[in-house]
Structure 1
Amino acid sequence: MHKLTEKNQLLGEILSGMNRVIVAFSGGVDSTLVLKRAQQELGSSNVLAVIVASELFRNEEFDRAVELAEKMGIKVYQTEIKELEDERITENIPDSWYYSKKLLYSHVNLLAKELGYKYVLDGMIMDDMEDFRPGMKARTEAGVRSVLQEANFYKQEVRKLAKELELPVWNKPASCSLASRIPYGTKLDKHNIEQVDQAEKFMTKLGFNMVRVRYHGEVARIEVAKEEIADLLDHRDQINLKLTSLGFKYVSVDLLGYRTGSMNEVLTEDAMKVEFG
């Protein structure tokens, strides 16, 4: 039997024993696959997509997630959390990610209890274990189930199965909290979150889908795919004008190109172990 077929079969076995589930749904490929397979195994009436609006994620992502879940025929519960009201999160140190996820999981767990759902599922995958992910500690403490990890799914396999299942987000670029654009030690507030949000939206309109605008005070550091750096430079005057209008004084390009988790590159291995083991 093909490895992906075996993993999908195992995923089905895990889900089929759960009866009724909530999926913490972001609209990304990972949580969409969880939602679809839960629907297939348990039926639409036993699956609830909880979609959480956050100050650290784009409103457009929230709206698209709601639209996608509804198109899939899944019941949707819309709610929100206020991360910028928690000083442990706005402090923006490595363990702030833990408190951010703790807030999310506590909120969804409370809903599960109120609505009578025994299991809460998220979309974490095996790749998440290879980067600095303090959210996994919060996940484990909250008793949330990462069924794709339990079935040993990696991102490439998630995308392949999502494509086979004709999920429209099978090749959607990964999204992450806007806080990931701001270096540790720089306090989070509505202003710097809005700066990077608007800057990235502008870059996307120019056609750069894989893009990060990293905030360094007066400096914006742009990451795009290495093969797109020359194209970015062709738009340099337009980009500089827009980003300086948003409050940046200087605009730079990262020659290493786009990469997820680049803000974690400054963390030492010891620092990560001290906080999270």
Structure 2
Amino acid sequence: MAWQEKLTALQHFFEATERALIAYSGGIDSTLVAKVAHDVLGDHAVAVTAVSPSLLPEELEAAIAQAKTIGIVHEQVETHEMDNPNYVSNPANRCYFCKSELHDTLKPLALERGYPYVIDGVNADDLQDYRPGIQAAKERGARSPLAEVGITKLEVREISKQLGLPWWDKPAQPCLSSRFPYGELITTEKLQRVGRCEVYLRRLGWRSLRVRSQGDTARIELPPEQIRDFVVQVDLDALVKTFQGYGFLYVTLDLEGYRSGKLNQVLDPQTRSNQQYSGSNPAMIKST
């Protein structure tokens, strides 16, 4: 199915839904969902952003600006995943507890206002990785139209570009807690430390990156083809001093390079494959 047909299917999804409350992070996936929902439903679509220490202030500002550009009604709610010891202890299924908090906050809001369910930005590629948060959303009745019609990450970008969205090539920016190896305690201070370091690097012009936190060590991940230029072009002394100013003692560069979901490689194959996801369109929703 070509991306044009999938876009039409996505539009038909919202025509059938009639009203839409969208879990909107400001990432490219949920922003495309918000754009199409608004185009089809107008003010019967609303985008809601969860605000917590896991979301950088800069990302919230971007979400606000994008929603304004789209024209969709945009609201913010606070979530409190940091109050849950099952989340801050950072087990392998940490994402489950994060999304549980999100949807336990959004679902009552949706039902109170007459929305049938919460809609998220999970795409078809997300179903191929270890994402326990998807299960938490499904347990609470959420719908994932991008996944349901089979729209992949590349197609999200292509459709966004065709629709004239200027952020169509925006790098993925998942929850900051994804920067920590499983088992390392997550704190607000650690989240802010990692976030500030990534903002620093982006302001230097490096867009696709991660700063992984391992105790007192920051490990920078960049696309492999950019590593050589990074070492040559960046003032490494200034970078180290900046990172140390944010609280790290040591700064390293991962020579393998950036790879989405890299921290999941420590999980055994059974753990990575035992997540069973389901949706309203089984032909499109596959188990990992």
Do both share a fold (TM > 0.5)? yes
Distance in 2, Cα, partners of 1:220 & 1:32: 30
From 184, 202, 213, the equivalent of 1:204 is 202
Residue of structure 2 equivalent to 1:129: 127
Alignment map for 1:1-277 (pairs within 5 Å): 3-42=2-41, 44-234=42-232, 235=234, 236-273=236-273, 276-277=275-276
Q: 1:168 aligns to what SS in structure 2? A: coil
Cα drift, residue 268 of structure 1:
1.1
- Give the aligned length: 274
Distance in 2, Cα, partners of 1:23 & 1:140: 14
Contact 1:196 1:215 in 2 (8 A): yes
Which amino acid in structure 1 is aligned with residue 262 of structure 2? S
Distance in 1, Cα, partners of 2:177 & 2:187: 9
Q: 1:251 aligns to what SS in structure 2? A: strand
Contact 1:55 1:83 in 2 (8 A): no
**112-121 or 46-55: bigger deviation:** 112-121
Which amino acid in structure 1 is aligned with residue 200 of structure 2? F
Q: 1:17 aligns to what SS in structure 2? A: helix
Deviation readout 1:105-130 (Å, 9 max, x if unpaired): 11111110222212321110011011
Deviation readout 1:124-181 (Å, 9 max, x if unpaired): 0011011110011111101111001111000111111111110122111000111111
Distance in 1, Cα, partners of 2:166 & 2:27: 10
Distance in 2, Cα, partners of 1:162 & 1:30: 9
Structure 2 residue runs of 5 or longer lacking an equivalent are 277-288
Cα drift, residue 273 of structure 1:
4.3
Cα drift, residue 69 of structure 1:
1.1
Distance in 2, Cα, partners of 1:105 & 1:142: 7
Cα drift, residue 225 of structure 1:
1.6
Q: 1:124 aligns to what SS in structure 2? A: coil
CA RMSD of aligned residues (A): 1.4
Cα drift, residue 16 of structure 1:
0.7
Distance in 2, Cα, partners of 1:226 & 1:253: 11
Deviation readout 1:55-92 (Å, 9 max, x if unpaired): 11111111221222122221112111122111110010
Which amino acid in structure 2 is aligned with residue 21 of structure 1? A
Contact 1:28 1:169 in 2 (8 A): no
**63-72 or 103-112: bigger deviation:** 63-72
Cα drift, residue 40 of structure 1:
2.1
Deviation readout 1:3-27 (Å, 9 max, x if unpaired): 1122112212221111111011111
Distance in 1, Cα, partners of 2:246 & 2:62: 26
Question: Normalization by structure 1: what TM-score?
Answer: 0.94
Contact 2:81 2:97 in 1 (8 A): no
Q: 2:17 aligns to what SS in structure 1? A: coil
Residue of structure 1 equivalent to 2:282: none
Cα drift, residue 231 of structure 1:
2.6
Contact 1:213 1:222 in 2 (8 A): yes
Distance in 2, Cα, partners of 1:272 & 1:93: 13
- Aligned sequence identity (%): 37
Distance in 1, Cα, partners of 2:214 & 2:253: 12
Which amino acid in structure 2 is aligned with residue 224 of structure 1? L
